[in-house]
Structure 1
Amino acid sequence: MAAIIRHDGVRSFVLFTVGGVGLALPLDEVLEILRPPALVPIPLGPPGLEGLARRRGAVLPVIGLRRVLGLAGAGQGGADGGAVAARLLIVRHKSQPVGLLVDHVLGLSAVDEDRVADSGAVPDPSIEADLLAGAILAGDGRDGALILDPGPLIERQFADLGPAGGPAGAADFNASAPPKTLAVVRQDEEQLVVLTVAGQEFSLPVAAVREVVPVPEAVTRVPRARPHLLGMMTLRDALLPLVGLRELFGLDARKGMERGKVAVLRTAEGLVGVVVEDVREILRVPRGRIDPVPPLMAREAEFADMDGIARLDGGARLVPVLSAERLFRHGTGDGAGTTGGDARMREGEAAVAMDAEAERAEAFVVFRLAGADYGLPVAAVQEVLRQPDAVTPLPNAPDFVDGVTTLRGAVLPLVALRRLLRLPEGLGSAGERGRVVVIAAGGARAGLRVDGMAGIVRIPVGAIGPAPVVSRAQHRLIRRIGALESAGERRMILLMDPSELLDMDQLADLLATV
């Protein structure tokens, strides 16, 4: 039972309401009272879990008291998209901070000891007695309140973890442990990132792309710069020059900086950010399907930045393969916008510093699902494809399997990742361009249907920490979280273990038969 600290016959409480019921917590149990932050839903959690929040660099689980207590309006707030919850109470449970969503905080109150009674003194309480530590009796024009015991309430949410479980990280968890088995790109294939610029497709080898990040809100312009030199941005405390491929290639002009993606390339002149409209796919293309640029075109300066042309979809789709090294020798620009030896030397020094920092980072393919960002190790992702036009149903398959399609002559099962992870179908999908993330671990391979592609992100090792443990299934699948902050924007990326993902529920048995 929660301790209720006495101070000279007076006890201090935080008073609040949930679903019209007056509740209280001992003041000593409450670490902070905050406005509800943005919550990131986490799959395979208990029903009362609204999501995860960040507090002072730490990630904590957030429980919706309406759900847990079964009060009026349960399911209307928090992660379900409503706006009922007004405050977040942070309490500590087994050394782990946990957030409790409540409707309204009425304030702090010093209550005389004779107004505090056992919960049994309240006739027909609206909350189970096991979740109460007592009651504040009404009197003298003051309302009464039920005193919550947060310990049993939180324990009930994480019951499937067993006596040694709880929201704190498991004792044997190794935050730096890599996925158990990773797929390797075959030597006779090239892995390409397909980009769109002015509605046209181009590609770059994955090996040349350090990462792909969103265009920031703030870009510093450079006076008197050439049109393709869009300015500079900050990437993990280092300056990154931005080059617009639309302007570099002389395609349709645009007004102002549009929101899109920045592909960060490593070049001889240092790191350069290439601004594109979208990252459409990541493909594995047999080298035999990448043809050299025809000689008549190759001798023209405008085509000197191409390594070849990839023939996709049986030759119906031709995608130029750009060279990261020669890209900025294009006719409209000489280099990434720096002139003079001193400028190139400074850029080179910055590149060395960022390369050293990159050695302490991990690369992930990040995609969107139900309003949250998820990451899979780049080495485990074979391709990222557009949604197929035709899907063949698979009889007697689990409900999370949409069917099968063919990929270069091989059968590929398509898994609806939302249903596999038991996430709400409608949450966060508006305006997203669906993609299929093809992953492999061991001998298994599957296409994961996701809401959209966020890009390739390198996360510093220091920004990766353990995920709060909310269930056994979640702890197997999502053990780590990447927490990034850029230009004041906070971002949490749930990092998945591909081996555990392909081993979930009936999926492993299904893959063995396809």
Structure 2
Amino acid sequence: MAISTSKVDADRRLVFQVGVRSYEIDARQVLEVVRIPPITRVPHGPQALAGIANLRGKPVPILSMDRVLNDVCDATSHAGKIIVYDHGGPVGLLVNEVLQLSADTQASPLKELNSLLDTAFKVARRAPVERTKSAAHDVAVVTVKQTALLSFRVAGQLYGLPLDHIREIVPLTRDISLITDAAAAVIGFIPLRDSVLPLLSLASLLGIDDKKAIGESSPIIVVEQDREMIGLVVDEMDVICRLRDDAIDRVPNLLQRGRGDAQIEAIGRIGEDVRLISILSSEKLFGHHAVTQAIDQNSEAKPMETTGEQENAFERFLIFQLGDESYGLPIRSVDEVAGVPKDVTRMPGAPDFVMGVINLRGRAVPLIDQRTRFDTPSSTRAAKARAIIVNLGGLQAGFVVDSVTEVKAISSAALSAAPEFSSKRTDIFDRIAQIDSDGRMILLIDPKELLTRAERDIVEAIRDEKTKAAGS
């Protein structure tokens, strides 16, 4: 339960415990005391920074008072209380316990708390950044015409849909409303934000007798066509890939007959191993009789976007995992997502976080282990490691992560500017997204800064190695 101090007398002091010692601070600077919420770690943040937390819908930096006072470098235990302190804006002070609110205490006074906080952490906020869909730094430079596809599997087969028609990917929930007299492919309807989404089995739409049961692990691909949306249940996600036009063959009309109502529009060839992917047509999917029936039966459902203003209210992000933390990249900056190849060419003298160089459609692309750069503990997700290929302004690199979990449309109301951290290496985090009602927050990465920061890290690492070699 929060402790309000809005009417505390001027002489009142708040007493708290850190380790075995007790300290007191001016209670007038205390906004409230709360239980510890979920804390998101900030890679390369200041030593005293435990992370950021969602407090009443706002991202607030959380400082470990054990680190501030005792210079303890061990991982902070997330047990105790958070004192929300007014230091030019709210700052959370992580302590072991809050003992009392009193005018007469025997605790050690922290008269220089503001100076300690200034030393440990600089609290400021960036000016809001104007972001539009046509922002130059969010547009990948591609010299050859390519088609971006989201690939996934149904009954063991690889399929793809144009990424431009994918609104997001969400997990299947139990909140499914069934309808009577529906086509066999119609599973039902699910709530999605302020709307209702028709849910269909892609296997059934394609005429595949898929015996796999639909469970909570089944991903839902939200597909958009002419302001209408449907959710397609598939078996598992694969990657994001880009195919040149000469790697895509149209399906002959002779083969576009029979079950599935010709949803497959083309066949693509992926990589040197020439994997084949069946490319679906969103237009033909929405023309399927089961889809039109579901949309018609959902008479109360409203399109999530009906005006130009509403179109700008959502931004799509690729969410990926490093250890136990999730991060996001604007989907517009992602060239593709691929499995980590076995044939990575090592670069002599390169830093440890540079895995090497890969051949990506005839172009040499450096592969950077983002797990090492973010000091992420080893993870059991290594088997699902993916390389996110980012291409901006002629710069291209692949960043290896533990896994890619989803594509998510996040409303502008759930986005806020990240606090300005005192560590320059945290400049790559420019915004924070509030994802769930339980307060989970995700750090969002500025792709331009991610690339330039990687370049600087490589240069600095090579320089440090040369300095060590010269001194030995």
Q: Which structure's relative contact order is higher, taking Cα pairs within 8 Å and 6+ residues apart? A: 2
**Which of 141, 145, 148 is residue 191 of structure 1 equivalent to?**
148
User: 1:175–1:480: 8 Å Cα contact kept in structure 2?
Assistant: no
Q: Does 1:218 align with 2:170?
A: no
**Native 8 Å contact 1:246 1:253 kept in 2:** no
Corresponding residue of 2:98: 105
Deviations 1:233-279 (A, max 9, x none): 23231111122224444343344532232221113581111122333
Inter-partner Cα distance in structure 1 for 2:351 and 2:70: 31
Kindly report the root-mean-square deviation, in angstroms, between the aligned alpha carbons of the 2 structures. Answer: 3.2
Q: 1:235 to 1:179 in 2, by over 3 A?
A: farther
Paired AA for residue 219 in structure 1: I
Q: What corresponds to 1:494 in structure 2?
A: 443
1:152 aligns with 2:144: no
* 1:189-246 Cα distance to aligned partner (Å, 9 max, x none): 1111111234432100111112223334533343554443222223231111122224
Please name the residue that 1:281 is paired with.
239
Q: 1:365 aligned to 284, 296, 318, which one?
A: 318
Provide the residue aligned with 1:238 in structure 2. 195
Q: After the TM superposition, which residues 8-23 of structure 1 pair with which residues of structure 2 at under 5 Å, given as runs?
A: 11-23=11-23
Distance 1:146 1:472, change over 3 A: closer
Separation in 2 of the partners of 1:31 and 1:207?
45
CA distance in 2, matches of 1:260, 1:472: 40
CA-to-aligned-CA distance 1:377-425 (integer Å, 9 cap, x gap) = 22221111011122111111122211111111211110111333x3333
Distance in 1 (alpha carbons) for counterparts of 2:51 and 2:282: 40
Contact 2:141 2:393 in 1 (8 A): no
8 Å CA contact 1:179, 1:499 repeated in 2: no
Q: C-alpha distance in 1, partners of 2:452/2:227?
A: 44
* CA deviation map 1:475-502 (0-9, x unaligned): 63222222234xx354423222222211
Equivalent residue number for residue 394 of structure 1: 347
Distance (Å, rounded) in 1 between the aligned partners of 2:332 and 2:221:
18
Give the corresponding residue for 2:336. 383
Counting only pairs closer than 5 Å after superposition, residues 437-448 of structure 1 correspond to structure 2 as: 437-448=388-399
Q: Find the counterpart in structure 2 of residue 307 from structure 1.
A: 265
Query: Residue 81 of structure 2 aligns to which amino acid in structure 1?
Result: R
Count of matched residue positions in the alignment of Structure 1 and Structure 2: 453
CA displacement 1:2-59 (0-9 Å, x = unmatched): xxx9999x94233322222222333222211111111111223101111111111111
Tell me the secondary structure at the aligned position of residue 257 of structure 1.
coil
2:377 to 417, 421, 425: 425
Q: 2:150 touches 2:163 (CA, 8 Å); kept in 1?
A: yes
Relative to 1, partners in 2 of residues 1:337 and 1:152: Cα closer, same or farther, differing over 3 Å?
farther
Q: State the alpha-carbon separation in 1 of the partners of residues 155 and 456 from structure 2.
A: 40
> In 2, Cα distance between the equivalents of 1:315 and 1:465?
43
The equivalences for 1:334-349 within 5 A come to 334-338=290-294, 343=297, 347=301, 349=302
2:408 maps to 457
CA contact (8 A) 2:198 2:294 kept: no
Q: Which amino acid aligns with 2:270?
A: L
* Equivalent AA in structure 1 for residue 412 of structure 2: V
- Measured in 1, the distance between the counterparts of 2:312 and 2:92 equals 35
Deviations 1:454-511, CA, capped at 9 Å, x for gaps = 22222223332211111252563222222234xx35442322222221111545877x
Alpha-carbon distance change, 309 to 225 in structure 1, aligned in 2, over 3 angstroms: same
User: Is the CA contact 2:57–2:439 (under 8 Å) kept in the aligned structure 1?
Assistant: no
Distance change >3 Å, CA 425–CA 148, structure 1 → 2: farther
Q: Determine which of 306, 310, 324 is the counterpart of 2:282.
A: 324
**Structure 1 residues 430 and 16 mapped into 2: Cα distance closer, same or farther (>3 Å)?**
farther
Q: Which residue does the alignment assign to 2:218?
A: 260
SS at match of 2:347: coil
Provide the residue aligned with 2:84 in structure 1: 90
Higher Rg: 1
Correspondent of 1:410 among 359, 363, 370: 363
1:229 to 1:24, Cα distance in 2 relative to 1, 3 A: farther
Using a 3 Å threshold, how does the CA distance of structure 1 residues 359 and 219 change in structure 2: closer, same or farther? same
Amino acid across the alignment from 1:292: R
Residue type of the alignment partner of 1:444: L
CA shift in 2, pair 1:327/1:169, >3 Å: same
Aligned CA distance change for structure 1 residues 295 and 325 (closer, same or farther; 3 Å): closer
Where 1:503 maps in the other structure, the secondary structure is: helix
The runs of 5 or more residues in structure 1 that have no matched partner are 113-135, 138-143, 159-165
Q: Distance in 2 between matches of 1:369 and 1:179?
A: 28
* SS of corresponding position for 1:504: helix
Kindly provide the CA deviation profile for residues 54-73 of structure 1, in whole angstroms up to 9, marking residues without a partner as x: 1111111111122223377x
- In structure 2, C-alpha distance between the alignment counterparts of 1:7 and 1:288, rounded to whole Å: 73
In 1, the alpha carbon distance for the partners of 2:332 and 2:95 equals 42
* 8 Å contact kept, 2:186–2:290: no
Q: Output the CA distance in 1 between the equivalents of 2:277 and 2:441.
A: 33
Q: Secondary structure at the match of 2:400?
A: strand
- In the alignment, is the contact (CA less than 8 A) between 1:196 and 1:276 conserved in 2? yes
Letter matched to residue 191 of structure 1? A
- Tell whether the 8 Å contact from 1:184 to 1:380 is kept in structure 2 after alignment: no
